[in-house]
Structure 1
Amino acid sequence: MLKLSFLLTLLSSASFGPWHDEAKRSGVAIYPPACTSIECPVFDVLQLGNGYEIRRYNSSVWMSTSSIQDISLVDATRTGFLRLFDYIQGKNSYEEKIEMTAPVITEVSPSDGPFCESSFTVSFYVPKENQANPPPAKGLHVQRWKPTYVAVRQFNGFVTDSNVGEEAAALQASLADTIWAAAIEKSRPDSTTVYTVAQYNSPFEFDNRVNEIWMQFYVEDELLVM
């Protein structure tokens, strides 16, 4: 297994939204506020760049829906979240209630055209106490992540079908000509543009909303040589 220490230094501050003023001054990433009250997956910040952040997530377990076909990310995420909410409320094989966590993530495999259905998979981070034996449930499946590397862009407000595409394009542009862009491209199956939308807030929270675009990739040894 690849062993990675902090061979990368924090670079220039990122421009992700109004809550990042402190980050611009200090050069330190801001942890999503929701994660101070509910459990989130643990990560290390490897690099804070201009418009992006590179993270390494520890091994983690996620409960995921089957692929949802829709033209709307918002509608697909709502559909998937309701299935996962029923799951944590006890609609599972153990009839066990599970604590809410963050973020809820939606993996997006975009369609070829604006009026074609895309594929969406919605996932819930399983709390540590349930990760060894997450309750199974019909229509859901477990994903076990090894240590995972992610390029991240944060944005505020509510997620919409229009702004996620804009934010994903902005993340991709900010990564251009970096070693991370090459790693992301190499990690994509069949050169498809796949990204993930992470949401940390409930629909009833209107202030300090934090959303993220994730692009996952593999790390090879040459990326660690500075």
Structure 2
Amino acid sequence: MAIEEPKFSVLEKNPPFELRSYAPMILAEAQTEGDLDEASSQGFRLIAGYIFGQNQVSEKIAMTVPVAVEEQAPKSAKIAMTAPVNIESNAGKWTVSFVMPSEYTMESLPKPLNPRVQLRQIPAVKRAVIVFTGFNSENKVAEKTLELEEWMRSKNLQAVGVPRFARYNPPWSIPFMRRNEIMIDVRD
């Protein structure tokens, strides 16, 4: 059985870049601290606990992909930013998220028991994306983010928010088989 991914349509494709239109979705997310690997691992464990039954009705929720990690914007910053956005700023504070299966609504999802896990509805959104394989160090994520920002500039796309790093495969996957993405929301 295939693992569910968020629903999107490709508006433009120029490998490894894509411009996508995503349907509305619900995220389960957790705030974490540390470097990219520490934050990803900590956030994954928190949200995995929620979907594996640490919720008010002990209901198991199907796993989806990707697991996304984004650096938190400084509290004083405005949400609408223009490229480039440096993914290595803001002192190691991150938001790790899973997209909830599309069968759920905010009303039908069980409430998390852990207060660090939050549910959030996000509206339809347009995203610029770069797809890549292999290991994913902070340096590689920063490098791919810069490549995506350059592509966005060449297309006159304006960034809204911060870059998200998305992992689609478990850590034991063979590196050349791993699907990774950097996503940046863009102004419609």
| TM-score normalised to structure 2 length | 0.83
Deviation at 1:46?
0.4
Matches within 5 A, 1:38-187: 38-49=3-14, 51-65=16-30, 67-70=31-34, 72-109=35-72, 117-132=91-106, 133-137=108-112, 138-180=115-157, 183-184=158-159, 187=160
Conservation of the 8 A alpha-carbon contact between 1:68 and 1:119: yes
Cα distance between partner residues in 1 of 2:156 and 2:110: 39
Conservation of the 8 A alpha-carbon contact between 1:107 and 1:121: yes
Conservation of the 8 A alpha-carbon contact between 2:71 and 2:90: no
Conservation of the 8 A alpha-carbon contact between 1:60 and 1:146: yes
Conservation of the 8 A alpha-carbon contact between 1:89 and 1:96: yes
Point out the structure with the larger strand share. 2
Question: Any idea what the Cα deviations from partners look like across 1:183-211, whole Å, max 9, x if unmatched?
Answer: 21xx34xxxxx200011001122151100
Q: Which of 195, 205, 222 does residue 173 from structure 2 map onto?
A: 205
Larger Rg: 1
- Show structure 1 runs of 5+ residues with no match: 1-35, 189-193, 220-226
Cα distance between partner residues in 2 of 1:57 and 1:79: 27
Question: Any idea what the Cα deviations from partners look like across 1:147-198, whole Å, max 9, x if unmatched?
Answer: 1110000110122122111110111112223221xx21xx34xxxxx20001
Conservation of the 8 A alpha-carbon contact between 1:52 and 1:175: no
Point out the structure with the larger helix share. 1
- Show structure 2 runs of 5+ residues with no match: 75-85
Segments ≥4 residues shifted beyond 3 Å: 109-116
| TM-score normalised to structure 1 length | 0.70
What RMSD, in angstroms, separates the aligned Cα atoms of the two structures?
A: 2.3
Cα distance between partner residues in 2 of 1:179 and 1:197: 22
Conservation of the 8 A alpha-carbon contact between 1:51 and 1:174: no
Conservation of the 8 A alpha-carbon contact between 2:10 and 2:18: yes
